[in-house]
Amino acid sequence: MPERTSESKAKAPCKPQPLSDRVIAILHDFIKEERKRDFSFLGKYSYCYKNAKSLLEIEPASQYGIAATKKKDDDFENAGWYTFTEPIDHSRRMVAINILNQENVKIEGMTIGTGTSNMRDATSWIRDTYCTDLQKTWPKKFSPMQYDEQKKWWAKTGKFFKLLQLPLELREEIYRHVIEPVVVPDIVTEGTRRFIFGVGQFFGPTSVAERNRDPDVPRPNLNIIYVNKQVCRQSCSVACRESIKRFTTLRSGLVRGPRQSLFKIWQHALSMPPELALQTGFLRHIQIEMDAREHFACIGIYPNSGYPLRAEAPHVMKLTELALLNGLQTLDLRFISPKHRLARCPWAMASSESRPHSCQKKWIESWVVMAWDTLRNLRTTKGVKISLSGCIKTSTVDFWETKLNAAGDGDTELVKSMEHAMKAEILLRSHSREMVFPCRCTYPCVGTSADLLVNFEDDEDPRLESVEGWQGILDKAYWDFED
């Protein structure tokens, strides 16, 4: 029998790697990187076992365990079963892992849980399961040997420097960078009902345009407070004072996101004692994120088919209530794209027939004009700096930010004339049953027309992920509001 040559070996088909091996390899890589990033991850071991190679192992679950679990829950036909083992104390957890795309396995496309009612995205489940509770791991006094091991552990990550030898202003910049600039506040439901920074905001790997973009906010990284009490005090002060607090009506319904509704969180903010608000600076920088319907609702406008400018008391929050916040310095008004799955246009909803979302440029300008008195009052009486962000035309930002932050009232007469013309146009359009603002922009607003160049559902096609520049095309289609 002739010997196989190297050429014939090269042509031999490669045996595909089993799905379970790929899943385990991806999870092990994530765990390895998480140990470098987050000292509280597997923290009950990391304090004593800095050089341990494996503190958390994953392997396919036994058939006996799978059979026993499936009897309790019959909805796991397509899930893979794995066991998470902590070698040091031999504790084990058997979980089901669902894969969104088995051809292109990524941790972002995995969900983990023990029952169909508690499946969560893989990264959140691993972090929340194996991150030690802050209240249980307040730094203890180490022995000299343990301090040496801790320094070696950090030095191996390549990110070791002496923080406390830096000037305070530089340390504060580091704290601000570590914690993240934007947080989504929440309130604790038990005990004191105090404000917390929240756990971030995440909408999950579903077929929606905002995936991996707006309105995701990463969880605040507060692990720097583990260093010592001085760093804890300074970093918490910076987090309260400098981070932007996002009050949003967008809720994912998943674990990551505000547990309380915007109404409850906002009322809690208004009830904060003035001296505490000034002392902590918690409500110093605020960002409000809403769709078109909620933006008009906060100024008391609820259109219907008969009355396109129907006035009513705001249901969730009043824009005028911002004046009650002591210490408020900056206000960012964030607008979501009409393509967002939660975007609602008040005039499209009031129309008797199905209509696309109003022109993003037109409705934002109409809203700013109608909210002019309230916004200008914040600027003139409290010195609040106002900015516009999100999916908004650059010309709108350039035109209105300057006027909103101007020192005098020279633009008020112009705005009042614009308001009169806009209201007349809205009433005229309602008589012809065309309540929605049509988009006549040179570059049409994304989501206001059916003739889009990009189908956002293609974002879920794994074959397109390898195409160079495809993600840029998706980002441009979602975010591009330049004109």
Give residue 186's Cα distance to chain centre.
13
Let me know: does 215 contact 182? Beta carbons within 8 Å.
no
State how far the Cα of 386 lies from the Cα of 336, in Å rounded to an integer.
17
Higher pLDDT, 477 or 387: 387
Higher pLDDT, 3 or 477: 477
Beta bridge pairs of residue 333: 288, 388
- Assess whether pLDDT exceeds 80 at residue 99: yes
**Complete DSSP assignment for 334-389:** EE--TTSTT---HHHHHSSS--PPPPHHHHHHHHHHHTHHHHHHHHHHH--EEEEE
Burial group, residue 184, by CB count within 10 angstroms (0-12, 13-18, 19+) = buried
Tell me how far CA of residue 440 lies from CA of 227, 420, 426, in angstroms. 56, 21, 16
State how far the Cα of 141 lies from the Cα of 144, in Å rounded to an integer.
9
Q: Tell me the residue ranges of DSSP E strands in 26-121.
A: 57-60, 80-86, 91-99, 110-113, 120-121
pTM confidence score:
0.66
**pLDDT band, residue 135 (cuts 50/70/90):** very low
Question: What is residue 415's three-state secondary structure?
Answer: helix
Instruction: Take residue 231 and report the two structure tokens written for it.
Output: 């760093």
Higher pLDDT, 418 or 16: 418
Percent of the residues in the chain that have a pLDDT greater than 70, as a whole number = 77
Tell me how far CA of residue 320 lies from CA of 12, 220, 285, 359, in angstroms. 72, 29, 16, 26
State how far the Cα of 258 lies from the Cα of 268, in Å rounded to an integer.
13
Instruction: Take residue 413 and report the two structure tokens written for it.
Output: 């007469």
Amino acid at 117: S
State how far the Cα of 441 lies from the Cα of 18, in Å rounded to an integer.
51
Question: What is residue 251's three-state secondary structure?
Answer: coil
Place of tokens 């140990």: 35
Instruction: Domain ranges for the chain, please list them.
Output: 19-147, 168-479
Let me know: does 121 contact 111? Beta carbons within 8 Å.
yes
The whole-number pLDDT of residue 402 equals 93
Amino acid at 104: N
Let me know: does 300 contact 172? Beta carbons within 8 Å.
no
Angle at 300 between CA 342 and CA 298, to 5 degrees: 45
Burial group, residue 241, by CB count within 10 angstroms (0-12, 13-18, 19+) = middle
**pLDDT band, residue 458 (cuts 50/70/90):** very low
Beta bridge pairs of residue 93: 84
- Assess whether pLDDT exceeds 70 at residue 433: yes
- Assess whether pLDDT exceeds 50 at residue 2: no
Please, what's the largest Cα pairwise distance for the chain?
Answer: 96
Question: What is the rounded (10 degree) CA torsion for 451, 456, 458, 459?
Answer: 160
375-390 tens-digit pLDDT: 999 999 999 999 999 8
Let me know: does 87 contact 54? Beta carbons within 8 Å.
yes
- Assess whether pLDDT exceeds 60 at residue 223: yes
